[in-house]
Every structure is written in structure tokens, then in C-alpha cells.
């Protein structure tokens, strides 16, 4: 009996492992590529493609989404049960490495995907339950910019049976302060500079003309020949002066 | 002296014609500036809130300058036909004063137009749109003006933000402090609306599915009317001033040649 005793715990350990081998399906969750979405990543949400035609063998399984930070993903264990404090959204990322949300069955992800349908999962869309500890599977808004890793985990009962790989790191958007917008870098347009210059020159010429008018008030600066008279001015007529005509000698 | 008489009459005719044109342009300037001051596109609250409403000041000056030009052109016509030195001197001096005012109006319109960049409207929109707690009455008035104007702009022009809906994501804003990011990545008015004024598909709008939200920025809808306003005042005024310059020079020359 004695030599068997150390083997017993080993056998006990091996038994569950042999029973629950988690199949790794060849699918990596990714952000939606088609159609192009403006809100693909926002400050607290991101949009994933639904895992269609991935878990086809597991028609009885619940498919959960596991969300973790890149730095904590390695600490997540597949044996954590959904809907408990160890996988609660409200405890992420303070006391749990990842949370599980967006519970679905294969019926929610029919295969093949109908053409023209937009099949996405918006992570972070449920704002009403984000503080409610009674809703640990809440799909609440993400608490920071990330980077996040996600994977899908299929559970039959409470046994994990299949999982996808971890996704690429997903960074969310961070907002800059509106004070950082500079409003003084406009500069002056060429039109405005031309307009100002030309108008200033014209005004200067007019002022110079006004000064010239006053300086030459009364004097015929332009010369007598260009002086013109008012309409009612009297015109000077030439008078013939009387003089004695020289009589021809024949008249005498 | 016949040739000189003809020259006089030609000069008089030209000056009278010049003054007639000034008079008509004055009326046109007044009409144009009244149109701009009446703000048909409803953009004045945006400019008032940026404290950069110089183009409106320029338009107000333009209204009065237009009237002055019309009145002075009549005075000028009378003075030229009567060849009265006093009348023409008064005309020249008053015209110079009007010239100076119109010059100020043109330069103000052109300079202030250069201040109205996309960044200016972006910063103002982020700081004032749906601001929750205004500091005083003036602030409240401006916030309400900006919010109503943006709502109307986004609904009527099917646009969102200054450069696009991403404005609301890239920068923090007064709107963001009262509306959480998950429910309101951008304001509801950016969604495609049905006839009742409700979003056609709210989830599609929040996701940003093409067709369910307004993807263009509103800057074109703002800068179009503002540019028309500013350049209309500045360049039409500039054209009038160039013509007035020639007429004034001619009048000065005519005045200096009148016998007294």
C-alpha cells in the first residue's frame, strides 16, 4: 500500500485532466473588418466579429467571451466559473485577471453567416449594470484604454471544452484635452495682405491730393491754359481800336 | 477755347457718370450688408461665442457707408454741374471720411475671416456644446446659442462635428463629461433621423455603421456662408473704393481748375 500512496494523488490529478481536454480551435478573435465601422474602438468599447462557424461541434455548449488585460491574460484559468466573483466584470481589473461576459449558444451564431448581415459583438455596451455586483456577467464599459486580449471559451455545464486563441492586443482610444487645440496658427491670407496694402496706398494718394489742393489753392498750378471757366463767365471780345486809316493819295 | 470747353464737358460728364455709379454701388452695398447682418444661415451664435464676430461689425459699417456713398454721390453730381467750389470741397472731404470708414470695414472683414479656422470652431464646440454648468448668464446665453446652432447644423446638413464624428472621440469635451462614451460615442443628432426626429437605428448609429450616422464634418457648411459673407463685404467694398479713388482724383483735378 505504501508505494501506492504517492501515486494516488497523481492519478486523481490526471483523471480530471484526461476528462476535460480543452480543444483549441483554429480561430483568433479580431476586430470587425467589414463593414468599416466608425465606432470600431471608442474610449470604452470595441467591436468584435462574432465567432461564426467556429464551435460547430459543440451544439450544447455555452460560448463565453473572456476579456483580459494583456498583462493579466496569462493569469486566467479556464476552470474559473462564469457568473461568480472570480470572473465578475465589477471586480476587473482590481482583483480578477479577466471577466467573462456575452453568454451565447451556437443557435446565436448560425453558420454560415447570411450575406449582408452585420454580425458583430459590441464589448462594453451595457452601461446600466456596470456597478451592479448582482450582475457579474455584465458587458460593461471597459475601465481603461487597455491593451486588452480576448478569447472565446465554450463551456458544457461547467466544464470548458473548447477555446480560441487569445486575440491580438486591442488598444482603445484615449481622448486628448480640448485645451491642446491651438487656435492661433491661422496666419494671414494673401488676399487680406493685398487688400490692406492697396487700400492704404490709395488712401495715402488721396490724402496727398487733398494736401496739394490746399497748398495750391488759388494759384494756377496746372498752368493758365488748362484753367477753365464757369458757364456764366463773360468772354472777352476783341475790340478794333479806332485809328486813322492811311488814305490812298489818289482820293485827295 | 472750344477744345477746352469740350474737355470741360467731357470731364464733367465722366465725373457725373462716376458719381452715378458710386451712388448705385452704395445702394447695392447697403442691401448686401443688410442681407449678411440678417444672418440667413443662423451662424451668428457661433461667431459671437468665439468673440470673433468682426465680420458682422464690418457688415454694419457697410450699411451706413452705403447710405453715405449714395447721399454724397448726389451732392457730387450737383457740385459738378454747378461747378461750385464750396460744394465740391465739402464733397471731397466727406468722401475721404467715408473712404476711411469703408477701408476699415474691408480690412476688418478680411482680417477676421482669417481667424475663422476649423480649430477655432472645434475648440468652441468641444467646450460649449451641451455644457452642463454655465458660469454666469453670459456663459449660459452663449452655451445655449452654440448648442442650438450645432443641433440645427447637424440635423439640416447631415453632418457631425467639425471634421467628423471622431472629433468627439479624439478630444475631451463638455459633452463627454455628462454623456458616457459607451452610450454616446457622439451626440444623438449625428444619427440618421427618420421623419419623427428619432434615430433610424440607434445601435447602428452607436457602432458607426455607414448609412446610420452622419460621417461628414460640418466645417464646409459653416465656412461656405462665412466666406461668402466676409469676401462679399471685403472685395465688393474694395472694388467700390478703387472706383471712388478714381472719381475723387478726377474731382480734385476738376476743383483745382475751377475759376472763382
CATH number at residue B150: 1.10.1450
> Which chain B residue's Cα is nearest to A223?
B257
**Whether the predicted pLDDT of A186 surpasses 60:** yes
**Interface test mutation site (partner B, options A42, A146, A224, max chain B beta carbons within 10 A):** A42
Residues of A in contact with B185 (CB under 8 A): 39, 42-43, 45
A&B contacts, CB < 8 Å: 167
The answer to whether residue B171 neighbours chain A at the CB level (below 8 Å) is yes
Hey, are the CB atoms on B207 and A189 less than 8 Å from each other? no
Same domain, B230 and B112: yes
Same domain, A58 and A118: yes
Hey, are the CB atoms on B170 and A175 less than 8 Å from each other? yes
Same domain, B143 and B201: yes
Going from the C-alpha of B48 to that of each of A149, A162, B163, B173, B214, the distances in angstroms are 47, 62, 21, 20, 26
Same domain, B90 and B152: no
Same domain, A205 and A168: no
Query: Is A179 inside a domain boundary?
Result: no
The answer to whether residue B241 neighbours chain A at the CB level (below 8 Å) is yes
Chain A 34-53, residues with CB within 8 Å of chain B CB atoms = 35-40, 42-45, 47
Same domain, B12 and B104: yes
Domain count, chain B: 2
Domain count, chain A: 2
pLDDT at position B236 is 94
> Which chain B residue's Cα is nearest to A211?
B252
**Poorest-confidence range of A109-118, A157-166, B127-136, B159-168?**
A109-118
Q: How crowded is residue B65: how many other Cβ atoms within 10 Å of its Cβ? A: 26
Work out the angle at residue B64's Cα, subtended by the Cα atoms of residues B60 and B70, and round it to the nearest 5 degrees. 145
The answer to whether residue B246 neighbours chain A at the CB level (below 8 Å) is no
The answer to whether residue A206 neighbours chain B at the CB level (below 8 Å) is yes
Query: Is A234 inside a domain boundary?
Result: no
**Whether the predicted pLDDT of A57 surpasses 70:** yes
Task: Classify residue A49 by its DSSP letter.
Answer: E
Residues of A in contact with B248 (CB under 8 A): 206, 209
Please answer whether residues A122 and B207 qualify as being in contact, where contact means their C-beta atoms are separated by less than 8 angstroms: yes
- Which residue range is the domain that position A94 belongs to? 21-174
> Which chain B residue's Cα is nearest to A47?
B207
| Cis omega (within 30 of 0) for bond into B30 | no
Q: Positive or negative, the Cα torsion across B59, B60, B61, B62?
A: positive
Give the integer Cα–Cα distance in Å for B64 and B233.
13
**Burial, B79: exposed, middle or buried (Cβ in 10 Å; 0-12, 13-18, 19+)?**
buried
Q: Is B223 helix (H, G, I), strand (E, B) or coil?
A: helix
Same domain, A162 and A196: no
B16: which residues sit within 8 A by CB, 6+ positions away?
Answer: B77, B80, B81
Last residue of a domain, one of A124, A141, A174: A174
Hey, are the CB atoms on B180 and A141 less than 8 Å from each other? yes
pLDDT at position A252 is 47
Q: pLDDT tens string for chain B (260 positions)?
A: 456 788 889 999 999 999 999 999 999 999 999 999 999 999 999 998 888 888 999 999 999 999 999 999 999 999 999 988 999 999 999 999 999 999 999 999 999 999 999 999 999 999 999 998 888 888 898 999 999 999 999 999 999 999 999 999 999 999 999 998 999 999 999 999 998 889 999 999 999 999 999 999 999 999 999 999 999 999 999 999 999 999 999 999 999 888 75
Hey, are the CB atoms on B119 and A183 less than 8 Å from each other? yes
Q: How crowded is residue B36: how many other Cβ atoms within 10 Å of its Cβ? A: 24
Give the integer Cα–Cα distance in Å for B56 and B46.
12
Please report the beta strands in B74-231, taking only residues with DSSP state E, as ranges in sequence order: none
Same domain, B180 and B82: no
Give the three cell numbers for residue A105: 449558444
Chain A 123-142, residues with CB within 8 Å of chain B CB atoms = 124-127, 141
Give the three cell numbers for residue A165: 486563441
Same domain, A191 and A80: no
- What mean pLDDT is predicted for residues A95-112? 87
Residues of A in contact with B128 (CB under 8 A): none
- Which residue range is the domain that position B84 belongs to? 1-116+226-257
Same domain, B194 and B235: no
- What mean pLDDT is predicted for residues A159-181? 90
pLDDT at position A171 is 93
Same domain, A36 and A148: yes
Q: Whole-prediction pTM value?
A: 0.82
pLDDT at position A223 is 41
For residues A117 and A7, the model is more confident at A117
Please answer whether residues B186 and B165 qualify as being in contact, where contact means their C-beta atoms are separated by less than 8 angstroms: yes
Hey, are the CB atoms on B248 and A209 less than 8 Å from each other? yes
How would you label A12-38 residue by residue, b for 16+ Cβ within 10 Å and e otherwise?
eeeeeeeeeebeebebebebbeeeebb
Query: Is A144 inside a domain boundary?
Result: yes
- What mean pLDDT is predicted for residues A156-174? 90
Same domain, A133 and A200: no
CATH, residue A47: 2.60.40.10
**A95 to chain B, minimum CA–CA distance in Å?**
23
Same domain, B76 and B154: no
pLDDT at position B58 is 93
> Which chain B residue's Cα is nearest to A208?
B249
**A117 to chain B, minimum CA–CA distance in Å?**
12
Give the integer Cα–Cα distance in Å for B121 and B46.
8
Quickly state the pLDDT bin for A226 (edges 50, 70, 90).
Answer: very low
Give the three cell numbers for residue A195: 487688400
The answer to whether residue B197 neighbours chain A at the CB level (below 8 Å) is no
Please answer whether residues A89 and A148 qualify as being in contact, where contact means their C-beta atoms are separated by less than 8 angstroms: no
Give the integer Cα–Cα distance in Å for A87 and A66.
9
Please answer whether residues A111 and A117 qualify as being in contact, where contact means their C-beta atoms are separated by less than 8 angstroms: no
Task: Classify residue B229 by its DSSP letter.
Answer: H
**B259 to chain A, minimum CA–CA distance in Å?**
6
The answer to whether residue A192 neighbours chain B at the CB level (below 8 Å) is yes
Same domain, A74 and A156: yes
Amino acid at each position: 500500500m505504501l508505494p501506492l500512496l504517492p501515486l494516488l494523488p497523481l492519478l486523481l490529478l490526471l483523471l480530471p485532466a484526461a476528462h476535460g481536454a480543452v480543444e483549441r480551435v483554429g480561430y483568433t478573435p479580431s476586430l470587425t473588418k467589414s463593414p468599416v465601422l466608425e465606432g470600431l474602438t471608442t474610449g470604452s468599447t470595441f467591436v468584435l466579429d462574432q465567432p461564426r462557424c467556429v464551435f460547430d461541434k459543440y451544439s450544447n455548449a455555452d460560448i463565453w467571451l473572456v476579456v483580459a488585460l494583456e498583462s493579466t491574460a496569462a493569469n486566467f484559468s479556464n476552470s474559473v466559473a462564469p457568473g461568480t466573483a472570480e470572473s465578475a466584470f465589477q471586480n476587473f481589473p482590481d482583483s480578477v485577471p479577466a471577466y467573462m461576459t456575452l453568454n451565447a449558444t451556437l443557435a446565436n451564431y448560425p453558420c454560415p453567416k447570411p450575406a449582408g448581415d452585420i454580425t458583430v459583438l459590441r464589448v462594453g455596451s451595457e452601461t446600466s449594470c456596470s456597478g451592479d455586483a448582482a450582475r457579474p456577467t455584465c458587458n460593461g464599459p471597459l475601465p481603461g484604454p487597455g491593451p486588452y486580449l480576448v478569447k472565446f471559451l465554450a463551456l458544457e455545464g461547467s466544464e470548458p471544452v473548447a477555446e480560441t486563441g487569445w486575440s491580438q492586443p486591442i488598444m482603445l482610444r484615449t481622448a486628448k484635452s480640448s485645451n491642446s487645440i491651438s487656435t492661433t496658427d491661422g496666419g494671414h491670407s494673401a488676399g487680406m495682405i493685398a487688400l490692406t496694402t492697396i487700400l492704404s496706398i490709395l488712401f495715402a494718394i488721396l490724402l496727398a491730393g487733398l494736401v496739394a489742393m490746399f497748398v495750391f489753392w488759388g494759384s494756377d498750378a496746372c498752368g493758365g491754359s488748362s484753367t477753365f471757366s464757369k458757364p456764366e463767365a463773360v468772354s472777352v471780345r476783341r475790340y478794333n481800336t479806332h485809328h486813322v486809316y492811311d488814305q490812298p493819295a489818289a482820293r485827295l | 477755347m472750344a477744345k477746352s470747353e469740350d474737355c470741360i464737358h467731357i470731364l464733367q460728364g465722366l465725373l457725373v457718370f462716376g458719381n452715378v455709379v458710386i451712388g448705385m454701388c452704395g445702394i447695392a452695398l447697403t442691401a448686401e450688408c443688410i442681407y449678411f447682418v440678417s444672418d440667413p444661415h443662423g451662424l451668428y451664435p457661433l461667431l459671437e461665442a468665439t468673440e470673433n464676430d468682426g465680420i458682422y461689425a464690418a457688415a454694419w459699417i457697410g450699411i451706413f457707408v452705403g447710405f453715405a456713398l449714395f447721399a454724397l454721390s448726389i451732392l457730387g453730381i450737383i457740385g459738378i454741374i454747378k461747378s461750385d467750389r464750396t460744394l465740391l470741397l465739402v464733397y471731397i472731404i466727406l468722401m475721404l471720411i467715408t473712404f476711411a470708414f469703408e477701408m476699415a470695414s474691408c480690412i476688418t472683414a478680411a482680417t477676421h475671416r482669417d481667424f475663422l479656422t476649423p480649430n477655432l470652431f472645434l475648440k468652441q464646440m468641444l467646450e460649449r456644446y451641451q455644457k452642463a454648468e454655465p458660469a454666469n448668464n453670459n456663459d449660459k446665453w452663449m452655451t445655449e446659442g452654440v448648442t442650438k446652432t450645432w443641433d440645427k447644423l447637424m440635423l439640416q446638413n447631415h453632418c457631425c462635428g467639425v471634421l467628423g464624428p471622431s472629433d468627439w472621440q479624439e478630444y475631451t469635451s463638455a459633452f463627454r463629461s455628462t454623456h458616457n462614451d459607451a452610450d454616446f460615442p457622439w451626440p444623438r443628432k449625428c444619427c440618421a433621423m427618420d421623419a419623427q426626429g428619432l434615430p433610424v437605428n440607434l445601435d447602428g448609429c452607436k457602432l458607426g455603421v455607414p448609412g446610420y450616422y452622419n460621417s461628414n464634418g460640418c466645417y464646409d457648411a459653416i465656412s461656405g456662408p462665412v466666406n461668402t459673407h466676409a469676401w462679399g463685404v471685403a472685395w465688393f467694398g474694395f472694388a467700390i473704393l478703387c472706383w471712388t479713388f478714381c472719381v475723387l482724383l478726377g474731382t480734385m483735378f476738376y476743383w483745382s481748375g475751377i475759376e472763382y
